[in-house]
Structure 1
Amino acid sequence: MWATLGSAQAQAPVTLGGGSGIVFDEGSTCTLTTIGYDGAGQLVGFTAAHCAAEGAGVSAEADPGAGPVGTVAFTNPDYDYAVITFDAGLVNPVNQVGATAITGVGLPAQFPAVACKEGRTTGQTCGLVYGDVFGGASWTLTQICVIVGDSGAPVVVGNTLVAIVNGYIAVPCLGPQVGANFTRILDDVNARGGVGVGFHPI
């Protein structure tokens, strides 16, 4: 009688990039802003801080059976961003999701530019940039359509990441979208130290 030997198979990595849907331990769903490497070579990503607490596991919405592939390492409610550390062996990082590609990070967009976002709920939508109406170079308002689940989505001008989606004023898709400028987020990360310092998108 022949004995059959089973062979263990390694799980295929999940694909994640700016615009991918991500799911947290408690079940909330948001959008990954971008993914890349920090100065220490750690694979990290960003999303909105209001999506999950520090220490929460992060899974890919498109591949829920894969289980958690990352952890929320840090959140800053002041600029509403979170840094996620990913297991590089479980994630295939990409710089394009849907119609949105991210090739670099740029300064905040100004009126009358047109910016677009890639969200897990509404996909790619675009709108007029109003600029930083609050002052301080921290927040940008646009006429981009966003609804629940789009939080954390990348806001791009062309292929340049300029902000993230944090919310909207008054009415979804009608009221202006509000987003933290990504250069301000990176400045805050670099000043704080630790995970994410020296981040660059793939």
Structure 2
Amino acid sequence: MRIRSLIIAGAAIAGSIVASAVPATAAPPGPASAVIGGGTRIITTHGVPLSVARSSYLCTLTTIGYDARGDLVGLTNAHCFYDNVGNQYHGDAVYLEKPGTYGHIDVDRGAIGRVAVIGPGNPVVPGPQGAGLDYAVIVFDRADVTPTARIGDVTVTGFGPPPSPGSPVCRHTDPSGTSCGQILAHNGPYFIAALPDAPGESGSPVLTGTTIVGALWVTAAGTSITEILTDLDRSGGPGAGFRLP
């Protein structure tokens, strides 16, 4: 079964571009630490300095924790950090969304981390490296971020593979809340699920109970979290040996 045949042609990628959402000048630093976890909205500018940026790129954190190096790291989709002409934005600054807005960077808080790993994309939007597991690793500044294993009303206790077709699953994004559906099919490391999403929700965690089982990357499709973690461990770089906070 091909992933493309299971997704309606023309479905919009859940990441979102917001034009003219970035103030021309940054405000002084604000609060010292932000509590974030899976489902938190994150924003980048694709390498454009914040002082001159006129567009922001929204995605969602899948999970946050520590790697074998002891770094505070988060996972989201790789396609959040490349564009349509093949540019990838390694080292791009990562920001939070200003409370009460859509797509506006919280300039009072400033950058909270940087992108350390950008993998290949997915079968629908393969990107410059071709199709892969569609994950990226962000290294956060410990002084700016307090990690939490809580996603919505659930405290995550671990990771597992997506369940069999027909099994219930839920996805959560802080602005949209929690929506639930069921697994429809598997295809290698990918799964199809009857789960809604919206622009800016690429990377949303998919859960069964208190277990994260995947990361969404397009309407109704995503990658198994166990495949992502296995690949990270194999690479030995940032994110390898990932554990919950």
Task: Report the TM range for the smaller structure's normalisation.
Answer: 0.7 to 0.9
SS in 2 for 1:191: helix
Match among 13, 24, 28 for residue 44 of structure 2: 24
8 Å CA contact retained: 1:120, 1:150? no
**Cα shift at 1:111:** 1.6
Tell me the distance in 2 between the aligned counterparts of 1:51 and 1:107.
23
What RMSD over aligned residues (CA atoms) do the two structures have, in Å? 1.7
In the alignment, the residues of structure 2 paired with residue 131 and residue 121 of structure 1 have an alpha-carbon distance, to the nearest angstrom, of 27
Query: Unmatched 5+ residue regions in structure 1?
Result: 1-8, 169-176
Task: Tell me, yes or no, if structure 1 residue 41 matches structure 2 residue 41.
Answer: no
Q: Which residue number corresponds to residue 4 of structure 1? A: none
- Alignment of 1:70 onto 2:113: yes
- The residue correspondences of 1:17-166 to structure 2 (distance < 5 A) are 17-26=37-46, 27-52=56-81, 53-62=89-98, 64=106, 65-77=108-120, 78-132=132-186, 134=187, 136=188, 138-166=189-217
Cα distance in 1 between the residues matched to 2:70 and 2:30: 23
Q: Distance in 2 between matches of 1:130 and 1:101?
A: 25
Counterparts in 2 of 1:131 and 1:100: CA distance versus 1, 3 Å: farther
More deviation, 77-86/91-100:
91-100
In the alignment, which residue of structure 2 is the partner of 1:192? 235
Identity score, percent: 37
Q: Could you report, residue by residue, the CA deviation over 1:97-150 in whole angstroms, capped at 9, with x for unpaired residues?
A: 323432211122212211011124532111011131x2x2x0011001112111
Task: Output the amino acid matched with 1:16.
Answer: I
Q: Distance in 2 between matches of 1:29 and 1:121?
A: 12
C-alpha separation between the residues in 1 aligned to 2:61 and 2:158? 16
Contiguous gaps of at least 5 residues in structure 2 = 1-28, 47-55, 82-88, 100-105, 121-131
- Using the alignment, how far apart are the partners of 2:155 and 2:229 within structure 1? 19
**Normalising by the residue count of structure 2, what TM-score does the alignment of the two structures yield?**
0.71
Corresponding letter in the other structure for 1:130? L
Deviations 1:76-116 (A, max 9, x none): 12111100000111101111132343221112221221101
Over residues 151-171 of structure 1, what are the superposed CA-to-partner deviations in whole Å (9 max), with x where a residue is unaligned? 001000001000001002xxx
For residues 15-59 of structure 1, the C-alpha deviation after alignment (integer angstroms, 9 at most, x for no partner) is 110001111124101100000001111100000111123211111
| Among 6, 17, 33, the residue aligned to 1:13 | 33
Q: 1:142 to 1:68 in 2, by over 3 A?
A: same
Q: TM-score, normalised by structure 1?
A: 0.85
Query: Which structure has the bigger radius of gyration?
Result: 1
Answer yes or no: is the 8 Å Cα contact 1:18–1:102 preserved in 2: no
Give 1:10 deviation, angstroms.
Answer: 8.2
Following TM superposition, the consecutive aligned residue runs of length 4 or more in structure 1 with deviations greater than 6 angstroms are none
User: Contact between 2:66 and 2:73, CA under 8 Å: does it hold in 1?
Assistant: yes
Query: How many residues of Structure 1 are paired with residues of Structure 2 in the alignment?
Result: 183
| SS in structure 1 at match of 2:202 | coil
- Counterpart residue type for residue 152 of structure 1: G
